[in-house]
């Protein structure tokens, strides 16, 4: 069993620690800081959040998506055929993303993820997992002014993102995770999701690949998801309590990314709760096939809460394994 995270991590700590990235972006926006200097601050903050995850005992970390404004636009804005529009509410949260507007054929113009991963991995003593935005989610949350069909749009995103995935694998990244949550809200459209993920990940070699969902359950679509050409399926077992039932009905032949610590609330789990959830899960998948992680990215909670939650999570996972904490 290994512990990991789902993606993003809070970018700024609370007082008395300085909000360096926030301040740097404000300065850049006022014209008082050059873009290169902002990159330098983002680099330092990336190292800081990697170290925080390692300090918490997380086995496989991410770069915290420190450079990402939201899950969609960081990669989408670098694609041909995509412009970035106004603010939209992100699913059922009180946070917002900018809506990608597809105005022409989508093309990967400026791959960015392999570069980011190489930087992060060079700074980390633990494996760094790369996060790739999901093609289905991108298509569902974009305003389509060109393709005229969700499926065509999702497949076009998948084809462009495949360039990012291939570059990551070529760079030596061993863990590539596609975050594609919106399918849990659009189960009727599962066929499109399956085709898009297949186009994005089928035949990728040299890296473990996964697809993660959150905020609801995969009841009804989990059997088909287990046919996807991926190694890991990530499920939110907090907001998607129905996933516990969904897991009972299937023979889980892949690794499970189990979201058992609530990434959306500050209420703190106990080590015992985590350990009990892990034990229940090891009756479904062998320990070697289990990743323990929060239910979603941790940016919905303050930085100090995120760190505390990761510590409880890793300690609970060790307790379940019978290893003294």
Partner 1 sequence: MVVENTQTKRTNTRNSRMALTTTAVGSYAKPDYLTKARSEFAKGSIDRAELEKLEKQATEYWIRLQEKIGLDVLVHGEMERGDMVAYFSGEEGGNPIKGMKLGGLVRSYGNRYYHKPIIAGKLEWPGPMTVDMWKYAQDLTERPVKGMLTGAYTMVEWSFDEHYPSRRDAVMDMAKVIRREVEALVGAGAEYIQIDEPAIHTRPDEDFEVALEALQATVEGIDAEFHTHICYGEVERIWERMLRLPVKQIHLAFKNTDFAYLDQVREIGYPEDKDIGVGVTDIHTRFIESVDEVKDGLRRVLELFPAERVWVLPDCGLKTRTVDESEQKLQVMVNAVRDIKQEKNLD
> Least distance from C-beta 304 to partner 1, angstroms?
6
| Residues counted in the chain | 325
CA distance 235 to 36: 38
CA distance 270 to 142: 39
Binding pattern for the stretch 210-249 against partner 1, x by CB under 8 A and - elsewhere: ----------------------------------------
- From residue 321, how far is each of 295, 310, 317 by CA, in Å? 20, 17, 6
- For 263-273, b where at least 16 C-beta lie within 10 A, e where not — what string? bbeeeebebee
Order of strands across the sheet that contains 96-108: 79-89, 96-108, 143-144
> Least distance from C-beta 21 to partner 1, angstroms?
8
CA distance 90 to 292: 25
Instruction: Tell which residue, 314, 230, 300, has the closest CA to residue 266.
Output: 300
Compute CA 79 distance to the chain's CA centroid, rounded to the nearest angstrom. 20
Q: Does 31 bind partner 1 (CB under 8 A)?
A: no
CA angle in degrees (0–180, nearest 5) for 102-107-111: 115
Q: Which is nearer to partner 1, 176 or 239 (CB)?
A: 239
Binding pattern for the stretch 47-86 against partner 1, x by CB under 8 A and - elsewhere: ----------------------xx---------------x
Q: Does 309 bind partner 1 (CB under 8 A)?
A: no
Instruction: Tell which residue, 304, 301, 313, 239, has the closest CA to residue 269.
Output: 313
Report the chain's terminal Cα–Cα distance, integer Å. Answer: 15
Count Cα neighbours of 33 within 13 Å in the Cβ-side half-sphere.
18
Q: Which of 267, 322, 323, 324 binds partner 1 (CB under 8 A)?
A: 267
Q: Which of 50, 106, 173, 305 binds partner 1 (CB under 8 A)?
A: 305
Q: Does 268 bind partner 1 (CB under 8 A)?
A: yes
Q: Which is nearer to partner 1, 227 or 304 (CB)?
A: 304
| CB distance 48 to 17 below 8 Å | no
Q: Does 303 bind partner 1 (CB under 8 A)?
A: yes
Tell me the number of residues near partner 1 by CB under 8 A.
Answer: 31
Q: Which is nearer to partner 1, 25 or 155 (CB)?
A: 25
Q: Which of 97, 117, 136, 193 binds partner 1 (CB under 8 A)?
A: 97
Q: Which is nearer to partner 1, 196 or 261 (CB)?
A: 261
Q: Does 2 bind partner 1 (CB under 8 A)?
A: no
Q: Which of 1, 3, 5, 11 binds partner 1 (CB under 8 A)?
A: 11
> Least distance from C-beta 255 to partner 1, angstroms?
30
The reply to whether omega before 16 is within 30° of 0 (cis) is yes
> Least distance from C-beta 80 to partner 1, angstroms?
23
> Least distance from C-beta 147 to partner 1, angstroms?
23
Cα radius of gyration rounded to whole Å, the chain: 19
Q: Which of 18, 34, 55, 95 binds partner 1 (CB under 8 A)?
A: 95
CA distance 112 to 165: 10
Q: Which is nearer to partner 1, 31 or 86 (CB)?
A: 86
Binding site for partner 1 (CB under 8 A): 10-12, 14, 19, 22, 25-26, 29, 69-70, 86-87, 89, 92, 94-98, 265-268, 299-305
């Amino acid at each position: 069993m290994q512990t990991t995270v789902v993606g993003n991590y809070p970018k700024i700590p609370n007082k008395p620690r300085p909000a360096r990235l926030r301040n740097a972006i404000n300065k850049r926006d006022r014209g008082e800081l050059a873009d290169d200097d902002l990159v330098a601050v983002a680099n330092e903050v990336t190292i800081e959040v990697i170290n925080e995850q390692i300090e918490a005992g997380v086995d496989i970390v991410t770069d915290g998506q420190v450079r990402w404004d939201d899950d969609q636009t960081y990669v989408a804005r670098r694609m041909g055929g995509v412009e970035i529009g106004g603010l939209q509410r992100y699913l059922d949260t009180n946070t917002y993303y900018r809506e990608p507007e597809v105005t022409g054929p989508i093309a990967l113009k400026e791959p960015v993820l392999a570069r980011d991963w190489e930087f992060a991995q060079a700074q980390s003593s633990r494996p760094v997992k790369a996060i790739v935005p999901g093609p289905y989610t991108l298509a569902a949350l974009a305003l389509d002014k060109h393709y005229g069909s969700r499926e065509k749009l999702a497949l076009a995103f998948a084809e462009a993102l495949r360039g990012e995935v291939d570059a990551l694998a070529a760079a030596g990244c061993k863990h590539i995770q596609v975050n594609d949550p919106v399918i849990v809200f659009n189960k009727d459209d599962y066929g499109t999701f399956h085709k898009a993920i297949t186009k994005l990940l089928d035949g990728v070699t040299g890296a473990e690949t996964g697809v993660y969902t959150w905020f609801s359950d995969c009841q009804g679509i989990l059997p088909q998801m287990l046919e996807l050409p991926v190694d890991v399926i990530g499920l939110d077992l907090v907001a998607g309590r129905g996933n516990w039932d969904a897991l009972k009905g299937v023979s889980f032949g892949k690794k499970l990314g189990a979201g058992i610590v609530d990434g959306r609330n500050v209420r703190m789990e106990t080590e015992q709760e985590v350990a009990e959830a892990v034990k229940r899960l090891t009756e479904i998948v062998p320990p070697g096939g289990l990743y323990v992680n929060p239910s979603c990215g941790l940016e919905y909670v303050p930085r100090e809460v995120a760190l505390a939650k990761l510590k409880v999570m890793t300690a609970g996972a060790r307790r379940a394994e019978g290893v003294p904490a």
